[in-house]
Structure 1
């Protein structure tokens, strides 16, 4: 009669011990797997966030909100989900930006918006209102620059522009489409009399 080196209860005890150690290590060190395969430690998470940045000298107001903010201490990067930005300045059109996701670098010098990015320049009743749609946008808040190298659609009144790549300067109102630009006018045809 041969006898096993390990008894059944000791095998279960070892398995339970290994499971406990694994769970402890996972719960003690929350980590996020990034697209670039770097793992970063979560510093803090804030949900249902709203904020205001006011520059009294320039009479500039910037509002932002997000459903969730996650800060990573290793790279000093902040990620936001369901983001809404609004910029109000005298003598400049209202600027509203929304996206599903955003990533802010240290000090907010660069903001990278991804997934369902909408930019609305001008008020809802403004005849010069411009709406832009893309899946990626790089914002540089201090210079009022927005740019992308991805497909973008720009809608103004009845005109629709499609292009790949965009550069927008909110200070000057300049919008440059970079390549594969196509435009059409969606005005309804006039009825003949």
Structure 2
């Protein structure tokens, strides 16, 4: 092969070498100044860390007898706010010398410490009959329960039904330990007389 032809070909390649070096330097520089990929901020996520289906939990009193029984179709715990959400919750309270109290709802949420329960949708409280009182049923759409204090309250419409009374009101405070029901506003009552 003729040396002048080889030199001509090399000269044409030498013109490209600075251009290739320049492209390499530009690529390297762009890699250095390009921001690092953003890691997702998982602190804003609300993902469960565990779920339990068909569960029942029982709290015993000092005598070793059931004081509270809570069950639900599904329990879901969220670690970001330490909340526990439940589907179809049922809470029962058993106090010595008092009729049992049962609370049901479609949905609920327990506080991180478990000392407060917030019930939503089709909330129903049933106080069992005793020797001197008939069964009493309360219905509402929302209920805030503090089990250890025996308190339940709502600011929503409520209906109370017992053997001879139907009472409607807006808002209610219920103290199961003192057996006191306080209706807050717009109270309407219908009394059915006892048959002779």
With structure 1 as the length reference, what TM-score do the two structures score? 0.73
Indicate the residue corresponding to 2:50 in structure 1.
Answer: 44
Pairing 1:64–2:70 present:
yes
Compute the RMSD of aligned alpha carbons: 2.7
Cα 1:58–1:93, aligned 2, differ >3 Å: closer, same or farther? farther
Whether 1:97 aligns to 2:103 is yes
Q: Give deviations 1:26-77, integer Å, cap 9, x for gaps.
A: xxx8xxxxxxxx7412111110111111022595521111000000000000
Which segments of structure 1 move beyond 4 Å, counting only runs of 4 or more? Answer: 57-60, 187-190
Q: Does 1:132 align with 2:138?
A: yes
Unaligned runs of 5+ in 1: 1-28, 30-37
Q: Is the 8 A contact 1:121 1:130 kept in 2?
A: yes
Asked if 2 retains the 8 angstrom alpha-carbon contact of 1:60 and 1:90, the reply is no
State which structure, 1 or 2, has the greater radius of gyration over its C-alpha atoms.
2
- SS of the residue corresponding to residue 92 of structure 2 reads strand
Task: Answer whether contact 1:59 1:90 (CA < 8 A) is retained.
Answer: no
Which of 166, 178, 192 is equivalent to 1:160?
Answer: 166
TM-score by length of 2: 0.72
Q: Distance in 2 between matches of 1:125 and 1:115?
A: 31
**Aligned partners of 1:149 and 1:165 also within 8 Å:** yes
In structure 1, distance between residues paired with 2:195 and 2:52: 51
Deviation at 1:123, TM superposition (A): 3.6
- Within 2, Cα distance between the matches of 1:58 and 1:182? 42
SS of match in other structure, 1:41? coil
Say which structure is richer in strand: 1
Aligned-partner Cα distance in 2 for 1:72–1:182: 41
Query: Which is worse superposed, 55-64 or 66-75?
Result: 55-64
Question: Which residue matches 1:5?
Answer: none
Does the CA contact (< 8 Å) of 1:85 and 1:97 recur in 2?
yes
Whether 1:54 and 2:54 are equivalent positions in the alignment is no
> Aligned residue for 2:179?
173
Give distance in 2, aligned partners of 1:57 and 1:80: 29
Kindly tell me the number of residue pairs found equivalent between the two proteins. 157
CA distance in 2: counterparts of 1:59 and 1:50, whole angstroms: 15
Deviation at 1:186, TM superposition (A): 3.7
Aligned to 2:119: 113
